[in-house]
């Protein structure tokens, strides 16, 4: 089981293929936010229902987590060149989600139209 804190500290990257994001760690996801940058009028989409959701599919491999965003077509194109990001509100796999110190926000950034995504732990998702 791979830690997201260790993955971010080590500078590991994820990648995207169309509407599917592959992350080099495991985690307990509380909610997912998808936001567009540079728009004071648009609110991010928040996904909290991950069970049998028509919006998102979650798959965990031995060393990765795969998130499939069914409502979106091409995440790199829609969010690339710093036009947007995905934020996971999550805890390390197996940790107690009822202890606030265990919960973190992980920002997934799309710098360009390439497949690579960068990862960053942030304090406040509303202060970007």
Q: What is the DSSP string of 71-100?
A: T-S-HHHHHTTTTEEEEEEEEETTS-TTSG
Q: Confirm whether 44 is domain-assigned.
A: yes
Which of 3-12, 82-91, 105-114 shows the lowest per-residue confidence on average (mean pLDDT)? 105-114
Q: Confirm whether 37 is domain-assigned.
A: yes
Determine what percent of the chain is predicted with pLDDT higher than 70: 86
pLDDT in tens, 39-92: 555 566 777 777 767 888 899 888 999 999 988 888 888 888 778 889 999 999
How much is the pLDDT for 42?
59
Q: How far apart are CA 69 and CA 39, in angstroms?
A: 22
Q: Confirm whether 117 is domain-assigned.
A: yes
In the chain, the number of structural domains is 1
Q: Confirm whether 33 is domain-assigned.
A: yes
Q: How far apart are CA 82 and CA 125, in angstroms?
A: 15
Host domain of residue 114 = 4-122
Among candidates 86, 65, 90, 64, which has minimal Cα distance to 75? 86
Structure tokens at 15: 């990648």
How much is the pLDDT for 48?
74
Q: Confirm whether 60 is domain-assigned.
A: yes
Residue 22 — left, alpha, or beta (φ > 0 → left; ψ -120 to 50 → alpha)? beta
Inter-residue contact 29 to 58 (CB < 8 Å): yes
60-to-23, 29, 66, 74 alpha-carbon distances in Å: 9, 12, 6, 21
The predicted model scores a pTM of: 0.85
Determine what percent of the chain is predicted with pLDDT higher than 90: 46
Q: Confirm whether 128 is domain-assigned.
A: no
Q: Confirm whether 127 is domain-assigned.
A: no
Judged against a pLDDT cut of 90, whether residue 125 lies above it is answered with no
Q: Which residues contact 126 (CB under 8 A, 6 or more apart)?
A: none
């Amino acid at each position: 089981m791979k830690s997201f804190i260790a993955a971010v500290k080590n500078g590991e990257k994820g990648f995207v293929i169309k509407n599917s994001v592959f992350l080099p760690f495991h985690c307990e996801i509380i909610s997912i936010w998808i936001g567009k940058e540079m728009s004071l009028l648009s609110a991010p989409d928040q996904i909290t229902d991950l069970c049998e959701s028509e919006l998102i599919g979650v798959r965990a491999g031995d060393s990765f987590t795969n998130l499939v965003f069914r409502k979106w077509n091409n995440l790199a194109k829609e969010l690339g060149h710093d036009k947007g990001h995905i934020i996971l509100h999550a805890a390390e796999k197996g940790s107690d989600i009822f202890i606030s110190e265990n919960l973190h926000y992980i920002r997934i950034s799309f710098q360009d139209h390439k497949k690579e995504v960068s990862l960053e732990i942030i304090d406040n998702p509303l202060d970007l």
